[in-house]
A and B are shown apart, each in its own frame.
Chain A
């Protein structure tokens, strides 16, 4: 059942081959917490618990670890071919007696072409809202989009289906996409009715995915499709989502129509390395499914996490993934970054606030730390790549000359942040400031040729001044519209 490669003990504890004794201990404790029979009575968890013990007994003992390590071929220690590059808004930081801002664009790129023979199968676990409001056109469009998705997967990719309302039901256990007729038959069994309680659906999906994922080296994505607010379980959902990253599970969400909670779904998906899509028409859903399905087949590394510290009192104020899926990133350590694709660069825009710089500082590590990830195609699956973003500190203030790539990414991000700020201002009752900001935003959108979005923003500014609140529909159009401007149209090969 389980693969027993020569680096398996490291994989079981989810640690890199060069893990320190301290890391081994920490990984052991976190694994036993997750799989302990008292916490998790399932037979799979019991099995994992035993294997974790076995792995720890060997790796925690220096002599036994050395013997075990001797059996690992040297090429297993070849780090994954990922280029880590960065650009800064300033080559030399001026030594100022006041706080200053500095921006960075961190780029990650896989330097080898995709090797389809090594790619593990993808498992897409669809979690479909079947509450009463989904009746009719909406549920039909979901069914059609799933059918289309199934046809576009590889034969050995897996698909599973969970429908939820006030409770969740597994409609289809993980089934290879080649059994198309069987899958389509199950899709058609989804019946509509009831309320929306997302936690039930999510819990069922994660239990279904978690063990399959680790034991069989499958790459799982949970796709949540909903059109409504969930009641009272938002916090529990986000907490659950925060635990799935280490299992290599990504959560993406698709919000249909105007009545879903975008702030909640954004929080839920970004903590689990995924992103949220706003579905306005059946074509939207079809297109998102197609794009996401393609990405799922192109994953090189998953569960990326940025662990870092900033020197000299620097403070990371804002982080946003501007390429390789577009998503806001939570400001926490580690930062969850989701999946890295074979032929799509991942770019993270970062804003740092620096304190006044004292004379003894001549250079500064804005960020140094490690990038943790799982590379499913490798025998030793868990990796740590060290990185440092540093810059010199000088006396000259000089004029500021910014690399164009960074400026372009930030120019687009500024538009997104303007609507974000307007939303915050509406929440705190500063309606006229918010309306003025939307007008500024519309001006920039017009200058960029985004006429239809600019019009929406202007309408919303008027609406806001009249009613003092944001309209659900236009609010979402503006948020996801400005976000989609961040996407760079870089073609990808299948």
Chain B
């Protein structure tokens, strides 16, 4: 028998989680995942362990107002968001009545599972937040899936993922 460190419940050897309180009883082996198909969350774990380099400082905007840019990680292209308090991200499809403010089609949005109206970024002087708009494949912030229709705060160098399309937030 093994004892749960959290609630002292007795568990059979080999148990991975305490059947009483749900506490994890074992350690993770990251090297063992290499032979397997990666699931999406593994991918984020791996990405996160290798921090992304911040953009060069000389790009910093001189104005006092917050300036936000999005860097598409795969293609390393930067999209500047300026002068708006809210922008929607998605991909444009012919015949669709509602269009996103930013069309991610050039970044292979379709193949990455980006919805037509995927997420919205809200910018106020106090804070910047992202909200998933009920997309099919969800939105993640630093690998953590966020609840749809709920604002989630963003900070500089956060990595958001719309489906599998990863974008770094740059706040200057």
Contacts and interface: CB of A to CB of B under 8 A. Distances in A.
B33 A404 contact: yes
A103 B21 CA distance: 19
B153 to A, nearest CB: 12
Contacts of A399: 27
Contacts of A100: 12-14
Contacts of A345: 37
A102 B15 CA distance: 7
Interface of A: 85, 87, 89-90, 94, 96, 98-103, 107, 109, 283, 287, 291, 345, 353-354, 399-405, 407-408, 410-411, 414-415, 417-418, 421, 437, 440-441, 444, 448-452, 488-493
Contacts of B20: 437, 440
Chain B contact patch, size range? 35 or more
Contacts of A407: 16, 24, 26, 28
Q: Which of A399, A421, A490 has the most CB of B within 10 A?
A: A490
Interface in B129-162: 134, 136-138, 144-147, 150
Given A98-B1, A401-B27, A449-B146, 11 more contacts: A107-B37, A291-B136, A353-B12, A401-B32, A402-B28, A403-B29, A405-B39, A405-B42, A407-B26, A444-B22, A493-B111
Contacts of A493: 110-111
Contact of A488 (B14, B15, B24, B40): B40
Contact of A452 (B21, B134, B150): B150
Binding site secondary structure of chain A: mixed
B50 interface: no
A440 B22 contact: yes
Contact of A490 (B7, B12, B26, B40): B40
Contacts of B37: 85, 107, 109, 345, 405
Nearest to A89: B16
B12 A489 contact: no
A9 to B, nearest CB: 38
Contacts of B134: 283, 287
A98 B110 CA distance: 52
Contacts of B33: 403-405
A488 B112 contact: no
A447 to B, nearest CB: 10
A411 B137 contact: no
B101 interface: no
Given A98-B1, A444-B22, A490-B137, A404 B42 contact: yes
A491 B136 contact: yes
24 contacts: A90-B14, A101-B15, A101-B16, A401-B29, A402-B28, A402-B32, A405-B36, A405-B42, A407-B16, A407-B26, A411-B24, A414-B22, A417-B19, A421-B19, A437-B21, A440-B7, A448-B144, A449-B145, A449-B147, A452-B147, A489-B138, A490-B40, A491-B113, A491-B137
Contacts of A99: 12
A493 B108 CA distance: 13
Interface in B88-147: 110-113, 134, 136-138, 144-147
